[in-house]
Amino acid sequence: MKQSLFFIPTLKDAPKDAEVRSHKLMSRSGLIKQVAAGIYSYLPLGYRVIKKIENIVREELDKIGSSELLLPALQPRDLWEESGRWDKYGPELMRLKDRKQRDFCLGPTHEEIITQVVRDYLNSYKKLPLSLYQIQTKFRDEMRPRFGLMRGREFIMKDAYTFTETKEDLDRMYNEFSDAYKEIFRRCGLETRIVSSDVGQIGGDEADEFMVMSEVGEDTITYCTSCSYAANQEHSGLNAGDKCLECGGEIEIAKGIEVGNIFKLGTKYSESMNAKIINKEGKQVPVIMGCYGIGISRTLMASVEQHSNEMGIVWPEEIAPFKVHIIPVNTKDELQVEVATKLYLDMREIGVEVLLDDRAERAGVKFKDADLIGIPIRVIIGKDAKDGKVEFSNRLEGTKDLVDLSKVLERI
């Protein structure tokens, strides 16, 4: 992509209400733009990263046999009456009426819809287990939308649902999702800690949350300094200095960003919404469900929070919007432009995602923007181009050296 054609509206200053580093940087580097409280546009650079995260999720869920579908955001009240959540959900639910005054809501989550999708089809244990997921926009009228994409009122979520005959099958799928999540977050450059959590609004049996440890996190995690015990403070009620419930060791507390969670739902929805199967013993029983969420847009935010410095973002390799940034220092120098353009075309030819800064801007402006948007490999074409050399820097490894033009593709 040529930068002169791409839309990257970088800013000198962050918006006044941006409190945390990731929010400031995402605004300044032209990844997102606020429309209203908790509502954002994803600009081309930010949307490239969103798509990368989504594809990592798709690859890992495909490996565990989950199929992707897409459910509607607009949901009729009667389904929410069936589950009993029309009244229970409270003001977070975005409600609206159609022209005939019928009630609808904008989906904050999709247990009702997915149950409606499968219940007519699922009549026998022979059709189980079943695992389905979607990547979609969710709506929640959060009391305190803040920190950019961290807590939005409209945000992108991956939600998956499993249907099984037995608790053992649910346990197995739950563990498969847990392993897939570890891999997804690792690939997004995030180190996560699994903490056991309160089931809260959704209801059900067991649940775990995937937390990125961070000062800006809204959750408080209690963890043992001697064993692997960790729980959300909402759930454990423990405090720093308390004794671990499992080994007696000392409890510490830390802040975390919840990027995903997994729930053993049980039969809450299948019972209230009548999703039943004939089991192996020939008895009619409600199907057992699990649900599994990942905040895609929050994962992007958490990744920027973890991988940035005062000057800009330093993208983890797999989710970087481009792999290579080619910067000719002086666009009035024909040789520099020629070398840069040739490198750019050669890289495209072998499938490297590359951004060419072909703008007629001062070098200082280009470098500032390049620091902000943080593409991992930077190739600078300057005065040494006449001797067949360019500067090659790798932001992830912190290296920078002069490289022979003929060696650049090899290095990449």
User: Which residues of this protein are in contact with ligand ATP, per CB under 6 A?
Assistant: 109, 140, 142, 151-152, 155, 157, 258-261, 293, 295, 297-298
Shortest separation between residue 102's beta carbon and ligand ATP, angstroms: 26
Q: Which two tokens stand for residue 205?
A: 């049996």
Report the residue closest to ligand ATP, judged by CB. Answer: 295
CB 342 within 8 A of CB 80: no
Nearest in space to 396 (alpha carbons), one of 327, 303, 308: 308
Shortest separation between residue 175's beta carbon and ligand ATP, angstroms: 18
Phi, psi of 138, rounded to the nearest 5 degrees: -115, 155
Shortest separation between residue 157's beta carbon and ligand ATP, angstroms: 5
Under 8 Å CB-to-CB from 158, ≥6 apart: which residues?
A: 54, 57, 61, 133, 134, 135, 293, 294, 296
CB 366 within 8 A of CB 357: yes
Nearest in space to 262 (alpha carbons), one of 187, 188, 191, 211: 211
Shortest separation between residue 311's beta carbon and ligand ATP, angstroms: 26
Under 8 Å CB-to-CB from 266, ≥6 apart: which residues?
A: 204, 205, 288, 289
Nearer to ligand ATP, 30 or 145 (CB): 145
User: 3-class SS at 96?
Assistant: strand
Nearer to ligand ATP, 192 or 336 (CB): 192
Q: Which two tokens stand for residue 212?
A: 């990125």
What are the C-alpha distances in Å from 324 to residues 81, 112, 377, 379, 380?
52, 44, 5, 7, 11
Alpha carbons within 13 A on the beta-carbon side of 71: 26
Q: Which two tokens stand for residue 117?
A: 């999708």
Phi, psi of 321, rounded to the nearest 5 degrees: -65, -35
Shortest separation between residue 31's beta carbon and ligand ATP, angstroms: 15
Shortest separation between residue 308's beta carbon and ligand ATP, angstroms: 19
Does residue 129 have a cis bond before it (omega within 30 degrees)?
A: yes
Nearer to ligand ATP, 194 or 285 (CB): 194
Shortest separation between residue 334's beta carbon and ligand ATP, angstroms: 48
Nearer to ligand ATP, 297 or 306 (CB): 297
Nearer to ligand ATP, 152 or 290 (CB): 152
Nearer to ligand ATP, 295 or 312 (CB): 295
Shortest separation between residue 403's beta carbon and ligand ATP, angstroms: 41
Nearer to ligand ATP, 138 or 359 (CB): 138
Nearer to ligand ATP, 293 or 382 (CB): 293
